[in-house]
C-alpha cells in the first residue's frame, strides 16, 4: 500500500528534476570551461599566462601531476594574492591544503599573512 500509483508518479517526477539541476559543488562556469575548451588548445596560452604570473615551471609540473594546475593559476591571478608576493611553492602548498579550492586557499593565505604581520612593526 505504500507505493500507490500517485505517490510513485510524484516520486519519479522529483527524481528527474534532480537529474536536470546541476549538482552543487561543480560550479557551472568551471564545467562549461572544461567542456568547451579542449585541453590541448588551452595549454600553450595557459603556460604563457602562468609564466606571466611568476609561477615557476617546477611548481606548475607538480601542480599538474596533482591535478591542481588550474587552481594554482587561478589563485596566482587573484589581486589579493599578487599583493602578497608569495612564492610559487607557497601558493601550491596553500592549494594542496585546501584540496584544490581557490577561495579557501586564498582565505588561508590572507589570514596567515595577517597573523604574521600583526606581530611585526610596520615598515
Q: What is the pLDDT of residue 105?
A: 97
Residue 52: pLDDT band with limits 50, 70, 90:
confident
Whether 77 shows a pLDDT value over 60: the answer reads yes
Q: How far is CA 102 from CA 10, 19, 20, 71, in A?
A: 39, 27, 27, 6
Q: What single-letter DSSP state applies at residue 49?
A: H
Distance CA 69, CA 72 (A): 5
* Separation between Cα atoms, residue 17 and residue 28, nearest integer Å: 17
Confidence label for 6 from pLDDT (cuts 50, 70 and 90): low
Residue 36 has pLDDT above 70, yes or no: no
Positive or negative CA dihedral for 4, 9, 13, 19? positive
What radius of gyration do the chain's Cα atoms show?
A: 21
Amino acid at each position: 500500500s505504500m507505493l500507490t500509483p500517485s505517490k510513485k508518479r510524484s516520486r519519479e517526477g522529483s527524481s528527474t528534476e534532480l537529474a536536470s539541476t546541476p549538482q552543487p559543488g561543480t560550479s557551472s562556469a568551471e564545467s562549461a570551461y572544461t567542456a568547451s575548451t579542449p585541453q590541448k588548445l588551452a595549454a600553450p596560452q595557459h603556460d604563457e599566462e602562468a609564466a606571466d604570473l611568476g609561477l615557476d615551471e617546477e611548481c606548475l609540473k607538480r601542480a599538474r601531476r596533482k591535478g591542481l594546475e588550474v587552481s594554482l593559476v587561478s589563485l596566482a591571478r587573484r589581486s589579493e594574492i599578487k599583493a602578497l608576493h608569495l612564492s610559487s611553492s607557497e601558493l601550491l602548498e596553500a592549494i594542496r591544503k585546501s584540496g584544490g579550492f581557490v577561495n579557501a586557499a586564498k582565505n588561508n593565505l590572507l589570514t596567515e599573512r595577517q597573523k604574521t604581520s600583526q606581530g611585526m612593526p610596520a615598515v
